[in-house]
Structure 1
Amino acid sequence: MFNRLPTVLKRHKVILLSLTITLIAAIFTKAVLVDIVYVNHQFEKKRIITPWGEKLKSGNLSVDYTMEQTLSDIERLGLNTVNVPVEIDIPSLTANSMSINPESKTKAIQLIKKLRYRGINVILEPFPFIQKGELYETNLQPADLNEWFRNWKQGVLSPLILDIAKPYKVYAVCIGSNFDQFENQYGYWSEVADFVRANYKGKITYRTNWWYTAEWNSNKDSKDDTYTVKLNNPLLGKLDFISVAAYFELTDKDTNSVANLVSALHGTQIFKRNQDIYSELKNLSSKWHKPLFFGELGFPKRNQASVHPWNPVPSNLENDLEQANCFQAYKEVFEKETWNLGFSVFAIGKDDATKNYYPSNLSAEIIKNWYS
C-alpha cells in the first residue's frame, strides 16, 4: 500500500493540473467571449437600419486628419463608417510609378484599430497624392497605362489588402477614385477588380467623379457624352456598390432656399442645363443592379456653394447656412431611396481655417439627424 502512495499522489497531481488548465481555459474563453460580445454590441449600436434597409453614414478624412478630431467627428455627426485614406505618393501627372507613404499607412492602421474597437465600418482608400498634393487625380494621365496598372495592383492594392484590409477586416476597399482621364480603360479596370476580388473577400467599390448633362447638348446620347460613358462602364457591374463624388453643379445663385436646391436636383438651373441628377443616379444604379453611394458629399461654407461645389473657395463670403441647405436638399431627395446606400461627408478629421468643407454646426445637425 505504502509503495503505491507516490503513484496515487502523482495521479492526483495530474488530475489537479488538468482541472486547473481546464478552469483557466474556461475563464479565458469566457473573457474572450465577453470581449467579442462587447465589440459586437458596440457594432450593433453603430449599424443604421432604416425602413429602407441598412445605410452607410460616413465621413471622408482629410489626409492630415488627427485621431482625436476623427473620433470626435464620428460622435458629432452620428457616423457608422469612415473613409480612411492611405497616401499614395505619385511624382507627376504622367508618372507610371507610385509608392505607399509609410507614415500614412502606419497612421491608418492605428486609426482603424480604434475604429474597429468602436464598431465603425472602414472604407479603405488608396489616396492619390500627386506632386505632394499640389495636383489632382482628375488630371492624371500616365504615360504607360500598362506599367501604371501593374504598379497600382502590385505596389499599392496588394500590400494594402495584405497589411490592412484582410487583417483588420475592413468593410470595403475603394479600388480607385476620380481617375477621369483613363476611367474608360475598361479592360485594365476590370482586371483590377478581378485581382482585388481574388485576394480580398470583403466589398469593393470604385468612386467615379461627378458629371453634367444639358438638354441642349446635341451629343447627349452619343458615346462621347460623359454620362453615357459612365452608364455603360462594365467595371460598375463588378463592384458591390457604385460610389459617386457628388459635386454636381446645381444653381447659378449665391444663396438658395432648400426648396430651390431640391428642385435643382431634379433639373439643374446653371447654364439652363436642366440636368435631372436624381434620375441619372437612379438609372446608373438600376442598370447595374448595384446600390449607389455618395462617396464624397461636400459643400464649401461659402456663398455659391451650389454653383461649384468642387471649388473650396467659390466666393469670399462665408455662409454656413448655404452649406447646410445643400446637405438638407440632398437629405430630402435621397434619404428614403432604397437604391441609395448612403453618403460620406467631405471632409472631416481636421478643422482649421483652410478646411472650407468641414461641416458647420448647422450642417452637423442635419447630418446627425439623417436616418434618425
Structure 2
Amino acid sequence: MGALAFLLGLVFGIACTDRPESSEEPGTASAEVSDVPAATFDIRAVTLDARDRPSDDVLDAIASLGASDITLIPFGFQETPHTPAIRRHTDGGWYSESTRGIRDLASRAAARDLGVILKPHIWIGHYSADGQERDAIGFDAEGDWASWEVEYREFMLYYARLAEEVDARALVIGCELNRAVRERPAFWRSLIAEVRSVYDGKLTYAANWSEDLRQIEFWDALDYVGVQAYFPLVHDSTRGDSVTVEQLQAGWDRHAHQLEAIHRATGRPLLFTELGYRSDPDAARAPWRWPEDGEKVEPDPAMQARCYRAFFQALGSANWLGGAIVWKWHPEPESKRPTGFTPQNKPAAAILRQGFGAAG
C-alpha cells in the first residue's frame, strides 16, 4: 500500500461510523426552504437519464434548478466480473447513453449555459436487484488483467475523445472498480496520462464511499477526489418522521472531518460524483439501497427533502468540496417513481433550487 493510501486508511480507521415527457415546473410540491443556504461550490450537476430524446422542457427544468451541468452516463458491457472483454454499444441503448444522444444533449445544454460531465460506467451481465458487481472486476492471471486493461483503455479513450469533442467540463475515468484500482494502480496512472493527451478537461474517479475511497493511490494525478456519496446519516433504528434535519446534519458532521482530511492529504477538492436520496422512510439510513421489485414501500418525499436540506446546511459552504452531482432526473412523470431517487416534482426540487442558488 502506498503512503497516501496508508494515511487515508489511518484517517478512516480512526474516524469511520458506520414515457410521456413532463413539462411541469420542478418544486411544485410545497417545501420549507427559507433555511437552505446557497452552496458556494462550483459544480452543481444533475444526472439525466433518458430512454428517448427528451424535450426541451426537460433541459429547461434542470436549468431552472440553478444547475451548472448535466451528467450523462454511457456504458461498456462486461459479461461477468471475471471475463475481460468489454463491449461498447455507442449507437444503441437509451438516448442519453448513446454517442448521438450525448452530442445532441451537449449542444442543447450549452444553449442553456449548462455544461456536460461524462461518467462512463461498466455494466456487468444483467440487471440484479442486488446491484452491479463492478467492485469485483479482477483476475487471477496476469494475462487476463492485461487483456482487460487493453479493453478498458480503448473504452475510456473513446469517451475521452468524445468528451473533448463536446467540450465536456469533466470526465470520470472509472466508477466503483474497487479491486481494479486497488490491485493495478500503475495501470490507472498510465491511463490518466493517455486520457490527458486527448482531453484537456477535468478528471476524476468515482470511488465508493465505503471502500476504495481510502485505498486509491493516484488521487494526485487527478483534479478531484470523486466520491459516490451515499453516506449513512442515521442509525438503523431511525427512520421516517422520527428523523430531524438536525440529526441528519449531525450525521454529515461525523463524515465531514474524514472528507476534509482526505482533501488535506491529497491536495485535491472533493467532488460528490453521485449524491442522491430515495423518497422513502429509509433514505437517510441506507441511501445506496434501491427498493426491490415488488417491495411495498410507502412514499416519503418529505424524508428526501430533509436529506437534501441537511446536505446544504452541513456542507454547502465547505471549502474542500468542489461540487455535487445529483442522482438523478428522468423525462417521465414522477408518478412512475414515487419512491425513487429523482427529486423532480417533489419537495426536494425546491430544496435543490435554493441550494443551487436559483431561488431566493
**TM-score (structure 1 length as normaliser):** 0.74
Cα distance, 1:366–1:66 mapped onto 2, change above 3 Å? farther
How high is the sequence identity, in percent, across the aligned residues? 20
Measure the CA separation in 1 of the matches of 2:267 and 2:216: 13
Q: Give the structure 2 partner of residue 327 of structure 1.
A: 308
Q: How does 1:13-52 map to 2 (within 5 A)?
A: none
Structure 2: give runs of 5+ residues left out of the alignment. Answer: 1-36, 93-97
Q: Give the structure 2 partner of residue 115 of structure 1.
A: 109
Alignment pair present for 1:306 and 2:302: no
Q: Give the structure 1 partner of residue 231 of structure 2.
A: 248
Q: Any idea what the Cα deviations from partners look like across 1:34-68, whole Å, max 9, x if unmatched?
A: xxxxxxxxxxxxxxxx9986511101223637522
- Highest CA radius of gyration, 1 or 2? 1
Structure 1: give runs of 5+ residues left out of the alignment. Answer: 1-49, 212-225, 267-275
Alignment pair present for 1:199 and 2:198: yes
Q: Give the structure 2 partner of residue 131 of structure 1.
A: 125
Counterpart code for 2:349 = A
Q: Give the structure 2 partner of residue 370 of structure 1.
A: 355
Shift of residue 115, structure 1, vs aligned partner: 1.3
Alignment pair present for 1:100 and 2:98: no
> Which residue, out of 332, 340, 357, partners 2:321?
340
Shift of residue 254, structure 1, vs aligned partner: 1.3
Alignment pair present for 1:277 and 2:255: yes
Shift of residue 199, structure 1, vs aligned partner: 2.1
8 Å CA contact 1:56, 1:80 repeated in 2: yes
Considering fraction of residues, name the structure with more helix.
Answer: 1
8 Å CA contact 1:140, 1:181 repeated in 2: yes
Alignment pair present for 1:233 and 2:216: yes
Measure the CA separation in 2 of the matches of 1:141 and 1:128: 10
Measure the CA separation in 1 of the matches of 2:213 and 2:41: 26
Measure the CA separation in 1 of the matches of 2:281 and 2:64: 24
Q: Any idea what the Cα deviations from partners look like across 1:7-58, whole Å, max 9, x if unmatched?
A: xxxxxxxxxxxxxxxxxxxxxxxxxxxxxxxxxxxxxxxxxxx998651110
Alignment pair present for 1:57 and 2:44: yes
The count of residues paired between Structure 1 and Structure 2 equals 296
- Three-state SS of the structure 2 residue aligned to 1:281 is helix
Q: Any idea what the Cα deviations from partners look like across 1:308-361, whole Å, max 9, x if unmatched?
A: 111122871210010111111111111011111111110113445247001152
Q: Give the structure 2 partner of residue 147 of structure 1.
A: 147
Q: Give the structure 2 partner of residue 166 of structure 1.
A: 164
8 Å CA contact 1:97, 1:151 repeated in 2: yes
Measure the CA separation in 1 of the matches of 2:127 and 2:47: 16
Counterpart code for 2:170 = A
Cα distance, 1:329–1:65 mapped onto 2, change above 3 Å? farther
Greater shift after overlay, 165-174 or 319-328? 165-174
Measure the CA separation in 2 of the matches of 1:242 and 1:196: 17
Alignment pair present for 1:74 and 2:57: no
**TM-score (structure 2 length as normaliser):** 0.76
Alignment pair present for 1:290 and 2:271: no
8 Å CA contact 2:63, 2:114 repeated in 1: no
Q: How does 1:217-232 map to 2 (within 5 A)?
A: 226=211, 230-231=213-214
Measure the CA separation in 2 of the matches of 1:109 and 1:337: 33
Alignment pair present for 1:258 and 2:248: no
- Three-state SS of the structure 2 residue aligned to 1:175 is strand
Cα distance, 1:175–1:70 mapped onto 2, change above 3 Å? farther
